Structure 1
């Protein structure tokens, strides 16, 4: 809350940061940008050698890396101070 004046009276007004966002009213681009810098997801993929592995993607779908297994992917994401999400 912040304090302001309206018509000579002191009133409390909620900060914009305190108003919850209705995700149903976001555009597709706004929705995709939520958590963009903080979230990475893991999904099954093939490594360069053709073996089964895991792909790490940014929240917007941009590929970041392909590793051998789920545990390695999870560890890499945490090491970079991101929040992992799995699509298995």
Structure 2
């Protein structure tokens, strides 16, 4: 909301940023950034030791960590108040 005056009175006006987004008009980059702070996904990967493990990525694909197993990955995600998703 923004504050303005009209005829000497203070009036609250809706701001453009208050309007809901139309997801059909988002760019690919904007769409990928949705949920970045809230959703993390897990996929198979190799650990630093060359062992099979799990990679944790943000919703936009940014790598966050590599851990030993799926249980540990989900624990780490939940510990950081994120929602886990698995890619198989």
Q: TM-score range by the shorter chain?
A: 0.7 to 0.9
State the match for 2:72 in structure 1.
72
Please report the RMSD computed on the Cα atoms of aligned residues, expressed in angstroms. Answer: 2.1
C-alpha separation in 1, matches of 2:32 and 2:73: 21
Report matched runs for 1:1-88 at 5 Å.
21-88=21-88
Q: Secondary structure at the match of 2:24?
A: helix
- Deviation, 1:58, is 1.0
Runs of 4+ in 1 over 6 A off after TM superposition: none
Equivalent pairs, count:
75
C-alpha separation in 1, matches of 2:25 and 2:43: 28
Q: Secondary structure at the match of 1:61?
A: coil
Cα deviation per residue 1:7-41 (whole Å; 9 max; x = unaligned)?
A: xxxxxxxxx89x76543332101101101111111
C-alpha separation in 2, matches of 1:24 and 1:87: 24
Where structure 1 has 5 or more consecutive residues not aligned to the other structure, the ranges are 1-15
Question: Structure 2 length normalisation: TM-score?
Answer: 0.72
Where structure 2 has 5 or more consecutive residues not aligned to the other structure, the ranges are 1-15
Question: Structure 1 length normalisation: TM-score?
Answer: 0.72
C-alpha separation in 1, matches of 2:20 and 2:62: 27
